[in-house]
Amino acid sequence: MIRLPAILKQAIATLLLFAPVLAAAQAGDRTTALDAIPLPTPSTCFGLRTIVEPEALAVCAALNTSQNLRARDLAENWLRAQPNSAGANYALAEVLLSVEGNVPRALFHLNRAEANSTVTSLDEMLARDADDASSPMWHYLTLNQLSSVHQLVGNQEESLRYLDALSEAYGVDLEPYKGWPLIKLKRFDLARQSALRVLNGEDTDAFSIAQAWNTLCAVELSEPLQSPGAPACDQALSLDEAGLNRGETLSTVTLSNAAEVALSRIRLAEAETLIDRATRTPNPSSVANPWIQKVYLTLAASRFDAAQQALTQMLAWRSRQAPLVSVSNRAEHYLVGATLLLLAGYTEDAARLAETALNQPDRNGNFSADDAQKEAVSALITALAYRADYALQRERAAAHEGWAQVSGVATAQAARLKAWQASRRAASLFAETTTLRDRLRPYGPLDVHIPEWMEPEIVGLLGAGVFVTLIDEAERAGAFQAGPGYAHSFRVEAAALNRDSRLVIDEATLALQTLPASERLLRARVQWHSAQAHWQSGDRATAIRHFAASLRQDPSLARRLGAAVPVSVSTDGSEQAQVLADKLVASPRFSAADGGLTLEVLSDGACLLDDSEQPLSCYTAAPLETRDAIASDALSESGLTAVAFQQQLFGIGIELSKAQRSALTGASVVLRAESYGAQQRLPDF
């Protein structure tokens, strides 16, 4: 997903502000009110040197010194005294945007500022009475901000209209700013023409040139099918790299977008290098959070410990982003959190987080993706989370006995129903032509990111027949030119749904030969389907080899698919081992069969062995821990051991505390009682 570079005002800290406070404290005066502290006169206000109203200067001074509550009070007092003042309405809108991220209310006051502006053009500005002490710039500022806010909330037509109005009224060249709204409207030819006009203009500044090349880069990535190259993207990055050589800081957005370009070419190692560079300098005003991409890449490669660390850093980065940024990318954070929770086995939390993303969409004007894509992905992850939750509850139910088992199975049906409902919603959203546009292209840079190992789930949503047609069309158009293995993985999924074992084996062989080695979760899915196909064809030796390889790379897959591992059970002959074996075989995660993977069951634990009789996972119960857990879960000792063994076998080794899981939704949770000040690197919690 390509991001737009955002230019926000930077707060200016000043020690002069605190001098009176320190002096009063030293004198023992503890009654000094914040409002009594004098504010330094700002050299600029709202980016201009021509603002003269003392009320506006006071608001700007408060914002510059991070006195956000005071800035709000000053703006509201000004508006209360002069409700029809364009300046007062604009000032409050600025506070609402920059301090609170309250976009709807800010838009209301911007509309009022526009309606109450007394100077509405350059001609009127020049003809103004020389004795007029008010600033003539409020209308200019308001139109500029209205264009920005409408872009943020997705009203791209209005954004373009305000750019045209601003250009017409004040004679300013705003062509460099038109490319992004046109990209969002999918008017790629017009966006290209706009960018070329900028590049062919006279005396074009460096910022406008960079904007134009970024626009051309996005146009290139919208039409990647002629060539896997993207020369405009290379040019955009080279301009920033040249700035870096001059001592300038390379922006988070630039590096994140460059990583997206590398991903679109299936250069995964290069992409991760760019992401790592982007993580080194926190940027509160940037909509990009490079740790999100880091989580996705490390998960795809089965580097689960690294993914957990990246998730922690993602939360730390998010906590330092500006309020207006946080309302722009909250759903993106929710989705990556839900994805990791799904793999880690926190299925209920994953479902809740994905539903939150679905119900609280982003302000996505600074992203190339749109609302329909976000909603479709959110619904898909919700469905997968509830499906995995149903599978998990069935595993637990099988470990109980009698009515407790019946009750557990009945309770699990609620999750199954929710999974079906979410699946239907996801299917309807993905069925939209605009949502499916370029969806099949691996790492499509203009789309919401769906992990490549998750995308085959869409086959089941739409049906194998429909999806095969889509694959054929996408392949003819060149969507898989940079990564043919991804097309084969989709065909494996479709053939598996059609129970065509021969085709599954053929396509799986091609997929495993051509998929990148770092796509371990996707390769695990392909190997699982290949294992089932070989099993059904009677080639059990090959089947168990593929089952073992799949479990090593993605232990959580069997649960997410609701599938069973064929096992050949052996016990140590004890009664306890036999009881435990019966509970494990009763679980939907295992099916007893000759020639399956060896499941060794002892009186106090179990081991699943691979095709070489090496352990895939072993669990031994600790007596004291067993008694404590039995009391809390009403399980017998063998039942608890069965649940714990499956939790370990089908888990990815990530444990998250309740506080950490709550933090994923933005809850006010203190992760560590330590102040990190203005460190350049984010802390490791």
Instruction: Report the C-alpha gap between 85 and 51 in whole angstroms.
Output: 14
Q: Token pair 């838009």 is at which residue?
A: 107
Indicate whether 364 pLDDT > 70.
no
Domains 1-172 and 443-562 equal at CATH topology level = yes
Of the pLDDT bands very low, low, confident and very high (cuts 50, 70, 90), residue 341 is very high
Q: Of the ranges 20-24, 314-318, 323-327, 621-625, which is most confident?
A: 314-318
Residue 97 carries which DSSP code?
I
Q: What's the pLDDT at 630? A: 43
For 151, the token pair is 């872009």
Tell me which of 431-440, 581-590, 606-615 is least confident.
431-440
Q: What is the DSSP string of 383-418?
A: HHHHHHHHHHHHHHHHHS-HHHHHHHHHHHHHHHHH
Summarize pLDDT for 265-285 with one digit per residue, the tens: 888 998 999 899 888 877 777
For 499, the token pair is 């129970």
CATH class of 1-172: mainly alpha
For 632, the token pair is 């809390």
Tell me which of 29-33, 230-234, 640-644 is least confident.
29-33
The pLDDT mean for the chain works out to 83
**3-state class (DSSP) for residue 565:** strand
Mean pLDDT of all residues in 155-163:
92
% of the chain residues with pLDDT over 70: 83
Burial 295-310 (b: 16+ CB within 10 A, else e): bbbbbbbbebeebbbb
Instruction: Report the C-alpha gap between 106 and 410 in whole angstroms.
Output: 49
Q: What's the pLDDT at 6? A: 46
Mean pLDDT of all residues in 632-648:
86
Tell me which of 31-45, 124-138, 419-433, 497-511 is least confident.
31-45
**Biggest CA pair distance of the chain:** 102
Residue 250 carries which DSSP code?
P
First to last CA, the chain: 28
**Phi, psi dihedral angles at 288 (to 5 degrees):** -85, 135
**554 contacts 520 by C-beta, under 8 angstroms:** yes
Mean pLDDT of all residues in 197-226:
79
Instruction: Report the C-alpha gap between 122 and 28 in whole angstroms.
Output: 54
Indicate whether 156 pLDDT > 70.
yes
Q: What's the pLDDT at 242? A: 65
Of the pLDDT bands very low, low, confident and very high (cuts 50, 70, 90), residue 4 is low
Burial 512-530 (b: 16+ CB within 10 A, else e): beebbebbbbbbbbbbbbb
Identify the H or E element spanning 576.
Answer: helix 575-586
Mean pLDDT of all residues in 155-180:
91
Burial of 478 (0-12, 13-18, 19+ CB in 10 A): middle
For residue 446, how far is the Cα from the chain centroid? Answer: 14
Residue 100 carries which DSSP code?
I
Q: Token pair 């239907």 is at which residue?
A: 424
**609 contacts 597 by C-beta, under 8 angstroms:** yes
Q: What's the pLDDT at 645? A: 95
Of the pLDDT bands very low, low, confident and very high (cuts 50, 70, 90), residue 423 is very high
Identify the H or E element spanning 590.
Answer: strand 590-592
**560 contacts 384 by C-beta, under 8 angstroms:** yes
Indicate whether 592 pLDDT > 90.
yes
Q: Which value, to the nearest 10 degrees, does the dihedral of the CA atoms of residues 335, 383, 426, 484 take?
A: 70
Mean pLDDT of all residues in 409-420:
94
Q: What's the pLDDT at 610? A: 92
Tell me which of 183-192, 249-258, 613-622 is least confident.
249-258
Q: What's the pLDDT at 66? A: 87
Dihedral angle sign, alpha carbons of residues 603, 653, 454, 526: negative
Instruction: Report the C-alpha gap between 586 and 642 in whole angstroms.
Output: 10
Indicate whether 16 pLDDT > 50.
no
% of the chain residues with pLDDT over 90: 49
**Phi, psi dihedral angles at 565 (to 5 degrees):** -90, 125
Q: What's the pLDDT at 435? A: 59
Q: Spell out the domain ranges in the chain.
A: 1-172, 249-326+655-685, 347-437, 443-562, 564-654
Q: Which residue has the higher pLDDT, 300 or 359?
A: 300
Tell me which of 205-209, 417-421, 485-489, 541-545 is least confident.
205-209
How many Cα atoms sit within 13 Å of 35 on the Cβ side? 4
Summarize pLDDT for 501-545 with one digit per residue, the tens: 999 999 999 999 999 999 999 999 999 999 999 999 999 999 999
Q: What's the pLDDT at 683? A: 31
Indicate whether 219 pLDDT > 50.
yes
pTM reported for the whole predicted model: 0.82
- In sequence order, what are the residues at sequence separation of 6 or more whose Cβ sits closer than 8 angstroms to the Cβ of residue 187? none
Instruction: Report the C-alpha gap between 223 and 219 in whole angstroms.
Output: 7
Q: Token pair 């046109």 is at which residue?
A: 182
Q: Which value, to the nearest 10 degrees, does the dihedral of the CA atoms of residues 631, 637, 642, 643 take?
A: 0
Instruction: Report the C-alpha gap between 17 and 42 in whole angstroms.
Output: 12
Q: What's the pLDDT at 685? A: 26
Q: How far is CA 589 from CA 389, 399, 609, 647, 649, in A?
A: 13, 12, 15, 11, 10
| Domain covering 443-562, topology | 1.25.40
What residue type is 264 in one-letter code?
S
Indicate whether 669 pLDDT > 50.
no
Residue 229 carries which DSSP code?
-
β 565-571/590-592 pair status: parallel
Instruction: Report the C-alpha gap between 378 and 375 in whole angstroms.
Output: 5
Q: Which residue has the higher pLDDT, 428 or 326?
A: 428
Instruction: Report the C-alpha gap between 573 and 44 in whole angstroms.
Output: 84
Of the pLDDT bands very low, low, confident and very high (cuts 50, 70, 90), residue 70 is very high
**Phi, psi dihedral angles at 492 (to 5 degrees):** -60, -45
